[in-house]
Structure 1
Amino acid sequence: MNILMFTFKVLTICGCWLPISWTSRYKRIIYHVYTISIIFLTNTFMLSQLMDIVFTVNNTDDFTDNFYVMLAMFVSCCKMFSLLKNRNNIAMLINILMEKPCKPIEHDEIEIRQKFDKFVQTNTLYYAILVELTCAFALTTSYFRDYRKQRLAFRAWLPFNYSSPMLFQIAFLHQFTSLIIGSILHIACDSLICGLLVHICSQIEILECHLRKVVNKPHFLRECVTQHIYISKFAFMVNQKFKLTITIQFIVSTLVVCFNLYQMTQTSMLSAKYIQIVLYMLCMLIQISFYCWYGNEVKLKSQQLISNAFEIEWFTLDHNMQKNLLMIMTRSTIPIQLSSALVIPMNLESFVGLLKTSYSAYNILQQMRD
């Protein structure tokens, strides 16, 4: 796997991508057992919080304490099922990027791909550091605040009495492990989808590089037409395969930002819980901004293709080549637009709209409480 290598390592850690070197039957069985264990941990943690809302919660403060964490775990479970379901589709998308006409051939094209792939790796690393620091802060403060008082890190309904030391330690370890795994699942899925969006931008830039060479290498133009068609199809496939995941992420992000705003107004600014909420809010905003930012970049890059095509020395080309170039430019008049639920466009306007919707929902929640 020559692209998104760091992302696929994260996918392997969270049980969603079998290592290529593990070809023996026994290693495959071990990894499948590992995957099932990950599914069990994340889903049981999410269900314990859901059951707490159903059976135990009886006021607004308890509900908000539970709900935002439950939503994050719910999305992580959805992302894992999406990744497992789309393993063949993910391999197919990567193969498209690795084969002609999308495969870079010349040195300058390879440099473009490496530049974008390094950009994805750097962003994924910084995002992973932020998410894991947030989890580490939450679990460390919980250890000193709750563990010594025989309280769980997060509200949960369990089908057994965990008052005994051994059962309490098992329950606390279950929450600790599940939260870490859930955070890694978020990193894996977000970095994969955003990485694919970045590589769409990479393909458009490689196409522009091809177009600048058609004057001296006329045979490139036919390849450019084919490559442009493949880029559009590739973007459509990415949107189709992950549309449910992106939709759930948008809905949950709106709810989480709303409930985090509410919690921040009810918590002292000097407390560890306030810092935890702020860090969690930051992670959520960065998470959804990635989708909107890179979706917006794909749209801008595809629109910019027309201007770059105009810069070519048209009059030196024969009539057929001019027709092929016009074909690319005509297609580019309709930019590549990725969307959530095939309705809400993934761009910066949608990100601002999400913030406004969250704030409106927060005001409604405040009025209900008052």
Structure 2
Amino acid sequence: MSQRTANFLQQFRKLSALHITYLKYIGLWALDSDSSALSKCLYFVYNKFILIIMLVFMVTLLADICSNFDDLSIVTDDGCIFAGIVVVFFKVMIFQIRREQIVRLLHETIDGCDQLCKFPVGGEGEILNKYLLLCRVTFYGFSTLAFFLVIALLFLVPVEDGELPVRARYPFDTTKYPWHAIGFFVEACTVSVGLTAIIGMDSLHTNLCNLFLVQLGILSEHFKSCSSNGRRNGIDELDDLNTARCEMSSSTIEERNREKDNRDRGGFVERFRRSIRNHQRLLAIIGDFNKVFSAGMFVQMLSSTSMICLTGFQAALVMGQSSNTYKFSIYLAAAVSQLFYICWVGNEVMYQSASLTQSQWLSEWTDELSAKTGRLINLSMIFSKRTLNLKAGFFYVLSMETFIAILRGSYSFFALLSTMQSEGDQ
């Protein structure tokens, strides 16, 4: 493995550690095993306090919805916030209960990339760099969007004297001191922690998905390079030092030579068998991934339908009120972009896993005809016929078709609510 490739893998590890750090600071993860007993005890209390605050906020929102059930504007206003906090709380509980499984899955996924890169064929660094850049851009992009959403929800909403920025029903009078401060603290804490939590959790989730895409991309290159011709072409590509030797350091040349030596190990059968084993390992990892995250993604799909519909309805309802328009526009943009990215990544996993069959065919196995080669080709085709899917419960598969279906469903509910509002005004 070249130093450049190893560095990219290390950057993936650091980025995953950053996502976990997000969750640690807001009390939704766990301290390291070498932390003191007192620190663990205090963190346990901190964790339960955050969960209780979020639960209290959810209950007050639900109470306000129930007490104003005949007012469509209030129900939809509370409903879009309630749908968002429900999915955050549900995902938080999944991360609390399955924390060890998630850490193990993360290690197995990065180790799978490491195993693939131990036998380079050329192009591994470019694939890693591409998806590492994608992870960074989306992480910092969504973090920025979350920051502006916190500002919009808490400080840009026009409120009358004594009212809270988010409608909710508390068992005390929030227009008087100190109850107003307590209510505002609950809302500010829940909104800030909830958005930070969803950034950390979804970034860790999509980081894993991007690592799946890395492995599928590298696997495709490995299958293509199994033949003697494919291997030779790759070596010639790496060995074109006539014009670049003066620009390369001796350590870089040594790394290229080590890559060529790795590529020369074994014949077609051994290289093809190694690629099949890596493919089987990836199938098992994605199966574990679906077991851990499938339920959370199902709630995400249901919640996204409600959030997009209700937020769009509210944005249309408050058109002309600049502050409320900003609030719901940012909220709608966050909901749609989050759903789009998750579905796009799932779609890419489906597409690249389906393209493995073509890569196996391009391995030029016909030049290596034998009974053993035939059995390997049949076995690999059987595995490749099983298209890899990132699932959201039993009903959804993360794909662009799912994204479009959710948008259609949201628009149908939006049209229904608009009709009900028009009839109510008449």
Deviation at 1:154, TM superposition (A): 0.8
Which SS does the other structure have where 2:220 is aligned?
A: helix
1:9-46 residue CA offsets vs partner (Å, 9 max, x unmatched) = 22223323334475322222222222112211211111
| Corresponding position of 1:129 | 144
* Separation in structure 1 between the aligned mates of residue 205 and residue 16 of structure 2, nearest angstrom: 11
* Separation in structure 1 between the aligned mates of residue 365 and residue 67 of structure 2, nearest angstrom: 71
Q: How does 1:140-151 map to 2 (within 5 A)?
A: 140-142=155-157, 145-146=158-159, 149-151=161-163
* Separation in structure 1 between the aligned mates of residue 168 and residue 52 of structure 2, nearest angstrom: 16
Q: How does 1:1-370 map to 2 (within 5 A)?
A: 1=13, 4-20=16-32, 22-99=34-111, 103=115, 104-106=117-119, 109=124, 112-113=127-128, 115-142=130-157, 145-146=158-159, 149-215=161-227, 216-217=264-265, 218=267, 219-317=270-368, 319=370, 320-369=372-421, 370=423
Give yes or no for contact 1:254–1:358 (8 Å, CA) kept in 2. Answer: yes
Q: Relative to 1, partners in 2 of residues 1:118 and 1:38: Cα closer, same or farther, differing over 3 Å?
A: farther
* Runs of 5+ consecutive residues of structure 2 not aligned to the other structure: 1-12, 228-263
1:329-370 residue CA offsets vs partner (Å, 9 max, x unmatched) = 332123112222222221111111111111111122222231
* Separation in structure 1 between the aligned mates of residue 271 and residue 16 of structure 2, nearest angstrom: 27
Q: Which amino acid aligns with 2:290?
A: N
Which SS does the other structure have where 1:362 is aligned?
A: helix
Provide the alpha-carbon RMSD of the alignment: 2.2
Deviation at 1:308, TM superposition (A): 1.7
* Separation in structure 2 between the aligned mates of residue 98 and residue 59 of structure 1, nearest angstrom: 51
* Separation in structure 2 between the aligned mates of residue 261 and residue 90 of structure 1, nearest angstrom: 34
Q: Relative to 1, partners in 2 of residues 1:265 and 1:100: Cα closer, same or farther, differing over 3 Å?
A: closer
Which SS does the other structure have where 1:44 is aligned?
A: helix
Deviation at 1:84, TM superposition (A): 0.7
Deviation at 1:170, TM superposition (A): 1.9
1:58-110 residue CA offsets vs partner (Å, 9 max, x unmatched) = 41111112111111111111111011111011022112124358633256546
Q: Which moved more, 1:314-323 or 1:153-162?
A: 314-323
* Separation in structure 2 between the aligned mates of residue 365 and residue 330 of structure 1, nearest angstrom: 48
Q: Which amino acid aligns with 1:224?
A: S
Q: Relative to 1, partners in 2 of residues 1:303 and 1:336: Cα closer, same or farther, differing over 3 Å?
A: same
Which SS does the other structure have where 2:394 is aligned?
A: coil
* Separation in structure 2 between the aligned mates of residue 53 and residue 138 of structure 1, nearest angstrom: 18
Q: Which amino acid aligns with 1:183?
A: L
* Separation in structure 2 between the aligned mates of residue 48 and residue 111 of structure 1, nearest angstrom: 50
* Separation in structure 2 between the aligned mates of residue 24 and residue 325 of structure 1, nearest angstrom: 54
Q: Which moved more, 1:327-336 or 1:278-287?
A: 327-336
* Separation in structure 1 between the aligned mates of residue 119 and residue 28 of structure 2, nearest angstrom: 34
Give yes or no for contact 1:102–1:203 (8 Å, CA) kept in 2. Answer: no
* Separation in structure 2 between the aligned mates of residue 3 and residue 177 of structure 1, nearest angstrom: 25
Q: Relative to 1, partners in 2 of residues 1:122 and 1:21: Cα closer, same or farther, differing over 3 Å?
A: farther
- Compute the TM-score of the two structures, normalised by the length of structure 1: 0.91
Q: Which amino acid aligns with 1:189?
A: M
Deviation at 1:297, TM superposition (A): 0.4
Number of residue pairs matched?
367
Give yes or no for contact 2:155–2:165 (8 Å, CA) kept in 1. Answer: no
* Separation in structure 2 between the aligned mates of residue 100 and residue 120 of structure 1, nearest angstrom: 18
Deviation at 1:324, TM superposition (A): 1.7
Q: Relative to 1, partners in 2 of residues 1:167 and 1:236: Cα closer, same or farther, differing over 3 Å?
A: same
Q: Indicate the percent of aligned positions where both proteins have the same amino acid.
A: 21
Q: Which amino acid aligns with 1:273?
A: N
* Separation in structure 1 between the aligned mates of residue 317 and residue 323 of structure 2, nearest angstrom: 13
Q: Relative to 1, partners in 2 of residues 1:86 and 1:21: Cα closer, same or farther, differing over 3 Å?
A: closer
Give yes or no for contact 1:96–1:102 (8 Å, CA) kept in 2. Answer: no
Give yes or no for contact 1:138–1:276 (8 Å, CA) kept in 2. Answer: yes
* Runs of 5+ consecutive residues of structure 1 not aligned to the other structure: none
1:103-162 residue CA offsets vs partner (Å, 9 max, x unmatched) = 3325654664454234213211111111221221222213xx33x711101111112223
Q: Which amino acid aligns with 1:301?
A: Q
Q: Relative to 1, partners in 2 of residues 1:287 and 1:139: Cα closer, same or farther, differing over 3 Å?
A: same
Give yes or no for contact 1:154–1:175 (8 Å, CA) kept in 2. Answer: yes
